[in-house]
Amino acid sequence: MQTVDTHQHFWNLDEVAYPWLVPAYGPIFRNFDANELEPQLMASGVDKTVIVQAMDSYADTDSMLAIAEAYEWVAGVVGWVPIHDPEETAKKLDEYGQNPYFKGMRHLIHEETNPDWVVQKQVIEGLQILADRGFTFDVVAVFPNHLKHVPALADKVPNLKMVIDHLAKPPLSDEDRAVWREQLATAAESPNVYAKVSGLNTVTPDFENWTYEDIKPLVDYAIEQFGVDRLMFGSDWPVAVLAGDYAKVLDETKKCLAGLSSGEQEAILGGTGNAFYGLGL
C-alpha cells in the first residue's frame, strides 16, 4: 500500500501573494518549500502527496504545478480557477486540463464576506463545468457557514465529486458540535461527497499537548457517516505546525485508525485519495 497525504501546501511569500497570511499566524508566516517537506515525508513513510491551493490565484496554481513536475513524490495538484466566472473557468480548464498533475480545484470560500458565496447561480454554473470535465472540488466548509451548503451543491451538481476539507473544522463546544454532527451526516448522504481526516490538530483545546484521544471521536464519527471508502488522510502541513509537526499528525491519526482492519486503514491512508483524485497509483 502507498501512503498518500491528500492535503499539504507550499507557499513562497517572495513569489506569490497570500494576503490572508499575516504575521499574527506566527510560525507559519514564512516560506515553506518542497525541500523542507521531503525529509519529513521520507521519515514518516509517506509515498505521495497532493498539493492543495493556498490562494485564489493563477500564480499559486502555476507554482504548485511547477513543484509537481520537479518532485516525484507529488502525485497531484488541487489548483484554482474562477468558478464564479463560468466562461473563464472553461478557458482555464482547457489549459490546466492538459497538465496531468491538475486534478481539481478549490476556492477559499471562508475568505469571502458572503457566507452563501458558493451557492450563487454563477458559481453553480462554474462547478457544473468543473464536474463535466471530470475534475474534483475541495470544499473549505468551515463550520458553521459552509458545511450546510454541501447538500445543496450535491443536489444542484450531482456529478461533482466533492471532498470536505478538515471535516469542516469541528467546533469545540458541545452545543455547536451537535449541529456539526447533524450537518456532516446530511452532507454524507450524497455518495459523491467525501471528507478529509485532516487539520484536526488545530481544533483541539490544547495545541501543545493534544493526542489522538482528542480527535478520535471526530474520526470515529466521520467513519460512521462516510465509511472508509469516502475518507482520506491529509496532514494540512504546514498549517499543522501550529499544533505539533508532520510526524505527530500522522502518528496520532494512525492511532485513531488502529481498531480498523488493515484494508480499512489502507483506504483512509491511501486508497480513497488515489481513487478520488485519479492519481493512478
Q: 272: domain CATH number?
A: 3.20.20.140
Q: Which residue type occupies 34?
A: A
Q: How far apart are the first and last CA of the chain?
A: 9
> What grid cell was written down for 32?
515553506
Residue 134 has a pLDDT of: 98
At 142 the pLDDT is 87
Domain extent for 117: 4-277
pLDDT score recorded for residue 92: 98
User: What pLDDT is attached to residue 239?
Assistant: 98
CA distance 181 to 22: 31
Task: Please answer whether residues 32 and 238 qualify as being in contact, where contact means their C-beta atoms are separated by less than 8 angstroms.
Answer: yes
Below-70 pLDDT ranges, the chain = none
Supply the pLDDT for residue 150. Answer: 97
pLDDT of residue 144: 87
Given this model, what pLDDT does residue 1 score? Answer: 79
Contact indicator for 107, 80 with CB cutoff of 8 Å: yes
Count how many domains the chain has: 1
For residue 26, the model assigns a pLDDT of: 97
Give CA–CA dist 220/235, Å, rounded. 18
Identify the pLDDT of residue 63: 98
Average pLDDT score, the chain: 97
State the pLDDT at residue 143: 84
Cell numbers at 253, concatenated = 491519526
